[in-house]
Homo-oligomer: A and B are copies of this chain.
Amino acid sequence: MSRASDRAYEAIRSMILSGELPAGSQLGEEALAEKCGVSRTPVREALRRLESDLLVTRTDTQRSFVADWSIDDVADAFELRAMLEGKAARRAAERMTDDALDRIRAANRQIDGALSKPGGDVAGFLEGNREFHTVILEVAGSRRLAALLGTLIEQPVVWRTAHHYGRDALRRSHGEHEELIAAFARRDGAWAEAIMVGHILRAYHAYADAHRGLTDTAMQLEAAE
């Protein structure tokens, strides 16, 4: 992670996710290189990675821009993610070990702990959540499935979803995890898949509702001018 190309990747990525670089902005290699304090070479590498993450698009003439995520794109991403994570959950249930089950339980305990804190520890929730899904993917034992999901899980929308969640929605998420654990403990692949698909799609609708709200607000603001 201390390599210059990794730092450039993280820096550019966080600039996109934070909105500092809004959708549609052109990403000049030289400008980014200066911002990140590295030369163009690692920046180029970072841009290619971001492109394969679909956070960056390139025109036919090789110019890079921050990708524009329409609501349809988001729906598309969640739909695929539901399918792939559902598949991963099924495989994981069929191959579950006692050891991995313990790690999954520990991850969900961490989530519970984060939710019980006074302020509501969103970072702790996200970390536990990531561990939870990571272990499942590991147990599923498909390098390719992991690779495909890797391009879907860390996208801007997914990242922001937890911040749209209210506390009760996070609680419900924790409850669904408990159900998943029950399915894993019984090695019931079909059950695990069903719960996981529902889990992801509920997250999608939470995002879509919040997004609709934001859009409406923006429209009201425009109308008020």
Contacts and interface: CB of A to CB of B under 8 A. Distances in A.
A84 to B, nearest CB: 8
A147 B56 CA distance: 13
A83 B88 CA distance: 12
Give this chain's copy count. 2
State the main secondary structure of chain A at its contact with B.
Answer: helix
A37 to B, nearest CB: 21
Contact of A152 (B49, B73, B144): B144
Nearest to A48: B48
A161 interface: no
Nearest to A155: B144
A45 interface: yes
A148 B150 CA distance: 11
A90 to B, nearest CB: 11
Contact of A54 (B73, B76, B87, B144): B144
11 contacts: A48-B49, A54-B143, A54-B144, A76-B143, A76-B145, A77-B144, A80-B142, A80-B144, A144-B152, A148-B148, A148-B151
Interface of A: 41, 44-45, 48-49, 52, 54, 73, 76-77, 80, 83, 87, 142-145, 147-148, 151-152
